[in-house]
Amino acid sequence: MESAEQYLLAIDEDPERAAGIAKDTAKRLENKELILLSLTKSLGEYLTNDDGIIRAKATGFYAAVLTFLPPTLLSPAQVSVITQFLCDRLEDEAGLKEVTQGLFAVAGMARFQPEDAIMIAKSLFKSCDLMKHPQGTRHLVYQLLDKLMLERRSALKQIGSNFATGFVELVTNEKDPRNLMIVFSHLNVIIVEFDISDCEEVVLDACFCYFPITFKQPPNDPYGITAKDLKDRLKDCLQASGKFAVYLFPQLLEKLDSHSTNTKRDVLQTITACALSYGKNTIANYSSMLWDAIKYEILNASDDGLALEALEAIRAISRSLSSKLINVTKGSSLDRYLRTVTKECLAQLRNPTAKQAKPSASIIAAVSAASAVAHATTFQTVIPGLMTIYDGLEEVAKQRSMLQAMIPLFDATAEVYGVWGKVELPPSPENSLEPFKDKLFEIYSKALMGASKGEVSFRLAGLAGLTKMSRIRNFLADNEIGLIIQFFDEVILTEEKDQLRDFALESLMMLSRLKPSLIMEVTFPAFMAKLPDKEEGEKAYDMTLAALAQLSVERPVFQVLLTRIFNKLNIVLRNKSGPRYPFALVSSILYVLRTKNDLGKDISTHYERIVPELLTRTITPLSDGSGGDALSHEAVLEVTGNIVNLILRVMGAERQAEVLKELFKLFVTREPSAMITVDKELIAQRFNPLEQGTSPQQACTIIIFTSAVAAMRGEVPLPSENLQQFLDRLFVLAQFPYSPGHRRSLLRLIAIIINKYLSAPADREFLAASTDAMWASIKSASCADAAFNLPALFWIAKALALRNDKLAEPIVGRLLELLDDEGLGVTVGRGFEVLLSDDPLLSKENYAVVRLLSKQKLFVYCIPKLTEGFRAASPAAKRNYLHALSNIIRNVPSKLVLAEINTLMPLLLQSLDLPDPAIKVASIDTLAVTVTEATDLVSEHISSLITRLLAASSPSDVNTVRVRTAALRCLSIFPSALNIVTVIPYKRQIMRALLKALDDPKRSVRKEAVDCRARWFALGELKDDD
């Protein structure tokens, strides 16, 4: 059997074998066992067969053999003959795919000649009716053309404009996005490099017929072609030749009248691209026509996004016309264009409160930002015009609108001439806003400082104008900016309106980056002088401190701030202040440190300056027998602790170890410590916070110690010889705390030490024994007060559970048992908050051992026991279970709750009947998530849910504002989250019931009721048809 016949038989059954046959044949040709002619001849009968499929297969065999031939085997003549042969086969529609494969192989031959390429292109154009074939075949043809375009472009160019027309005809009606991606890139090359002189319109039409692209990427699209890809390629074609302008612009503008936002956007983006690439002379001919059409999109904009695109287009034209111009040139195309634009815009600005005034000003800004020449040309006419209009305005409202309208002009100027602080700008040309500087400075200053206090938006306009002007590079002098900063200072220090103050502060922050020295010279002294010397109520200092803190992020400024704050603290404490003002002063340091840390700056460098200083100031007054001063108030201790924690946390292990040693000396072993800067020996004698019999104030400083220990990296060892003994000491102290805060920091300290340091087998035995002992004491306790070890158990369990320690579960199991206990159940229920909440100190950021899924594990352990216990519990104890549950779900991700929601739903519903606002809010919040995430389950319970939520929305002692708000908010999710069939039966009931909530005594609740009712009202009403 001949190989051709074998191939034809095999190709359908076993393509691999068929390929093998072709490969063999190729080998035989290579070894001269077979000659090309006889191969062609052997195919003869098949190639003339009546059945198209057989003809195609035969060609396929031929193509396959060619593919396997070494590229250097055939002589130029042979290549030509084969090309000719295959090109002739193109007339047979049946085998296009196979012929193309063959041609692809031939085109890869070493001796493939330019003439052959020309022959292929011409034959394709002549014989191929491409659109009759499936997408895959067409794709092959495009790939063949792609290869020729890439490797034989100069040959193809010889075909002349026939190539362009031929190609256009070939691809007409192509619709597949994958193919279009190739077609567009071919068209682009043709437009740029080929001769299209007598067929421009045809080529353009071939591109433009796809405009606008309406393709939507199908879901799970395997080819990954987006509408944007197609749009970009098409845009590249359209912008490729300025000769298109004459045909393209009228058609584009016609499409601009479309109602579709997408079409409009595409048109505007295409115009922008063309304006930038067609060249000045072309654009000059169309600028006024384009302007006339595009301006409507800005002046009557209904869509801000479109207006921005239109502004871009207007600006691109200005930019294009600016090219090669250095000076303002009367009569230039730019001059003519800008003259038209500015004339119309100025006319609109005559009435600055009208709707089209603001867009007009944006247009002026856009055209002037295009280049320095455009800027100069525009501003020379516009600014004097605007000044004349402004002088004629009498109403404040109009003046205000005018000042606001002009602000984009300053932005445009900053864009052309740059802002302060950037170094690498070339020397800028004369700023054409310069001549109007004094006048502008005057009217904006007057607006800010001269207007009456009530004219907020007028003054805001003044403020915004001054801000924008002060950032333009080399525009205002330093003393003028200094004056502006003084204005802003005054606004911040005296202004009652938050909006103005916020803006002024933002401006100062901007200037503190561009002109830091001016802020230090002008603002700091003014603000510092404003801080009172003793506590006078927070109004006297809060804004000033907040402003200072926000301005002090830069290092030198912060140094100044620290000095000033510490000095102020001295004075304030000497004046026997309460805790508020010192709290605020210390907090402002914390605020700056946090901000700096968030910005990625190294704050550990501030250690020397801050940590020993604060500790000495806090502890020294406690050691002279008096009760200490405001710095040892718990709230201030917390802030100090946070500062210490934040600074220590970012230190390396070595430095941490050094610091920790000194801290232990101070707090634990009572040795002279480097933490104390004055009288260390005296302090060592008198300061004993961790000993029984110490003063309550000294004991509370443990808050700082705990925060510091929390910051240690796991590899930093605690400088204590026997940790177990140290813990025992803490256990005892925690049994009889001086205050809740004192207990919390002791327990936290215990938890931190256990979590990070006690994981050796011996240590875990110690822990098991300790908790067993605690448990025994709790079991024998008669009331909550006697069960003084209960809190410790919760914290120990927390520390262990975080690192997925097996010891945790038995402890938690015991605690769960206690929920049935009459005396302790309530406390235990509340305690679950400790167990699962995120602790600020026992956290990953503080290097605590927090294993993946630890919360999940605990949750999964607790929930079945809770639900089981709940079912068996007495009515009184049920409440404790619900309380525990509420504390648990409040503190775990809602995803976890949803996984168990089937079990939990009955409990959640019952908890809505409890007279406890906190539980109710937690349950409703959980339900709110459930409504969107577990629709089936909610649909099942919908009736009882709606009844309970409606009940929770009417005011009572239990249904606090928060409960009512949560209930209404939850109800308002139903209509959009659930199937309409499920919810619509309740519409009437709810619409009626909500009438009551509309009359709620509290305004915020009424607001929720209105929104909720509107959502239910819309349910089932006719929808918009868009």
Contacts (CB under 8 A) with other proteins, residues 339-398: 353-356
Rank residues 62 and 541 by Cβ distance to other proteins and give the closer one.
541
Site for other proteins in 184-203 (CB under 8 A): none
3-state secondary structure 955-982: CCCCCCHHHHHHHHHHHHHHHHHCCHHH
| Contacts of the segment 282-289: beta carbons below 8 A, 24+ positions apart | 282/242, 282/245, 283/245, 283/317, 283/320, 283/321, 283/333, 284/321, 284/333, 284/337, 285/245, 286/245, 286/249, 287/317, 287/321, 287/333, 287/336, 287/337, 288/336, 288/337, 288/340, 289/249, 289/253
Nearer CB in complex with other proteins: 308/784 = 784
- Least Å distance, CB 521 to other proteins, is 22
CB 583 within 8 A of CB 639: yes
The residue range among 90-98, 269-277, 761-769, 991-999 that interacts with other proteins, by the rule CB under 8 A, is 991-999
Contact region for other proteins (CB under 8 A) — 56-64, 474-482, 656-664, 992-1000? 992-1000
19 contacts other proteins (rule: CB under 8 A): no
Q: Which contiguous run of DSSP H or E holds residue 606?
A: none
DSSP secondary structure string for all residues of 162-229: HHHHHHHHHHTT---HHHHHHHHHHHHHHHHHS--TT-HHHHHHHHHTTPSP---PPTT-SS---HHH
User: Which residues touch 473 (CB under 8 Å, ≥6 apart)?
Assistant: 414, 417, 418, 419, 420, 422, 425, 428
1020 binds other proteins (CB under 8 A): no
Residues between 50 and 69 that touch other proteins (CB under 8 A): none
Amino acid at 518: L
Nearer to other proteins, 677 or 1004 (CB): 1004
Positions 399 through 428 that interact with other proteins (CB under 8 A): 400-401, 404
Closest separation in Å from C-beta 902 to other proteins: 29
Angle at 335 between CA 332 and CA 340, to 5 degrees: 130
For residue 787, the minimal CB distance to other proteins (Å) is 9
Of residues 216 and 1003, the one with the C-beta less far from other proteins: 1003
Closer to other proteins by Cβ: residue 499 or 903:
499
> Do the Cβ atoms of 91 and 125 come closer than 8 Å?
no
For CA atoms 54, 55, 61, 63, give the dihedral sign: negative
Cβ-Cβ contacts under 8 Å for 426 (sequence gap 6 or more):
none
Residues 1000-1019 within binding reach of other proteins (CB under 8 A): 1001-1004, 1006, 1010, 1013-1014, 1017-1018
- 849 Cβ contact list (under 8 Å, min separation 6): 714, 755, 756, 759, 802, 803
Ramachandran bin of 265, using left for φ above 0, alpha for ψ from -120 to 50, beta for the remaining angles? alpha
Query: Cβ of residue 294: shortest distance to other proteins, in angstroms?
Result: 17
Q: Which residues contact 526 (CB under 8 A, 6 or more apart)?
A: 486, 489, 493
Nearest approach, Cβ of residue 767 and other proteins (Å) = 20
Residues 550 to 569: which contact other proteins by CB under 8 A?
550
Q: Which helix (H) or strand (E) holds 892?
A: none
834 lines the binding site for other proteins (CB under 8 A): yes
Given 547, 812, 922, 929, the residue binding other proteins (CB under 8 A): 547
Among 584, 929, 934, 950, binds other proteins (CB under 8 A): 584
Residue 221 beta carbon to other proteins: minimum distance, rounded to whole angstroms: 32
Helix orientation angle between 854-872 and 790-802, rounded to the nearest 10 degrees: 140
Residue from 285, 457, 720, 856 that binds other proteins (CB under 8 A)? 457
Among 896, 803, 811, which Cα is nearest to 852's?
Answer: 803
What 3-state class would DSSP assign to 893?
A: coil
CB 1017 within 8 A of CB 983: no
Among 228-236, 633-641, 648-656, 901-909, the segment contacting other proteins (CB under 8 A): 633-641
Nearer to other proteins, 87 or 549 (CB): 549
- Does the protein bind other proteins through residue 452 (CB under 8 A)? no
Binding other proteins (rule: CB under 8 A), the pick from 383, 416, 790, 942 is 790
- Minimum gap (Å) between residue 965 Cβ and other proteins: 10
In 3D space, the residue among 616, 746, 760, 605 whose CA is nearest the CA of residue 689 turns out to be 746
Q: What is the DSSP letter of 842?
A: S
243 binds other proteins per the rule CB under 8 A: no
d(CA 555, CA 567): 19
> Whole-number minimum distance, CB 791 to other proteins, in Å?
4
Answer whether 44's CB lies under 8 Å from 36's CB.
Answer: no
In sign, the C-alpha dihedral spanning 20, 22, 28, 31 is: negative
The footprint of other proteins on residues 492-531 (CB under 8 A) is 492, 498-499, 501-502, 505
Longest CA–CA span in the chain (Å) reads 118
Asked whether position 953 contacts other proteins by CB under 8 A, the answer is no
Q: Which is nearer to other proteins, 16 or 785 (CB)?
A: 785
Spatial CB neighbours of 856, under 8 Å, sequence gap ≥ 6: 892, 896
The yes or no reply on residue 300 touching other proteins (CB under 8 A) is: yes
Stretch touching other proteins by CB under 8 A, among 1-9, 544-552, 815-823, 926-934 = 544-552
Q: Does 798 bind other proteins (CB under 8 A)?
A: no
* Interactions with other proteins, residue window 251-280 (CB under 8 A): none
Q: Which is nearer to other proteins, 37 or 1014 (CB)?
A: 1014
Give the nearer residue to other proteins in terms of CB position, either 425 or 783. 783
Does 876 participate in binding other proteins (rule CB under 8 A)? no
Contact of 936 with 947, CB cutoff 8 Å: no
| Residue from 423, 599, 762, 1022 in contact with other proteins (CB under 8 A) | 1022
Contact track, other proteins, 460-489, x by CB under 8 A: x-----------------------------
Q: Which of residues 24, 169, 205, 833 is near other proteins by CB under 8 A? A: 833
Q: Note whether 136 binds other proteins by CB under 8 A.
A: no
Q: Which stretch binds other proteins (CB under 8 A): 13-21, 689-697, 783-791, 981-989?
A: 783-791
The site that binds other proteins (CB under 8 A) totals a number of residues, namely: 74
Within positions 587 to 606, which residues make up the interface with other proteins, using CB under 8 A? Answer: 587-588, 591
832 φ/ψ angles, rounded to the nearest 5 degrees: -65, -20
Binds other proteins by CB under 8 A, chosen from 61, 167, 541, 726: 541
DSSP state of 2: -
Residues 688, 694: contact at Cβ < 8 Å?
A: yes
Pick between residue 248 and residue 792 the one whose CB is nearest to other proteins: 792
User: Given the rule CB under 8 A, which of 247-255, 541-549, 863-871, 943-951 is the region that contacts other proteins?
Assistant: 541-549
Q: Within 808-827, which residues bind other proteins (CB under 8 A)?
A: 827
Residues in region 737-756 near other proteins by CB under 8 A? 739-741, 743-744
Examine residue 961 and tell whether it contacts other proteins (CB under 8 A): yes
- Of positions 635, 674, 682, 723, contacts other proteins by CB under 8 A: 635
Q: Can you say whether the dihedral through the CA atoms of 524, 527, 530, 535 is positive or negative?
A: negative
Considering beta carbons, is residue 466 or 508 the nearer one to other proteins? Answer: 508
Shortest distance (Å) from residue 543 CB to other proteins: 5
Q: In the set 583, 705, 757, 870, which binds other proteins (CB under 8 A)?
A: 583
Other CB atoms within 10 A of residue 92 CB: 17
Return the number of the residue (173 or 302) whose C-beta is nearest other proteins. 302
Nearer Cβ to other proteins (542/940): 542
Tell me the C-alpha distance between 866 and 1005, whole Å: 34
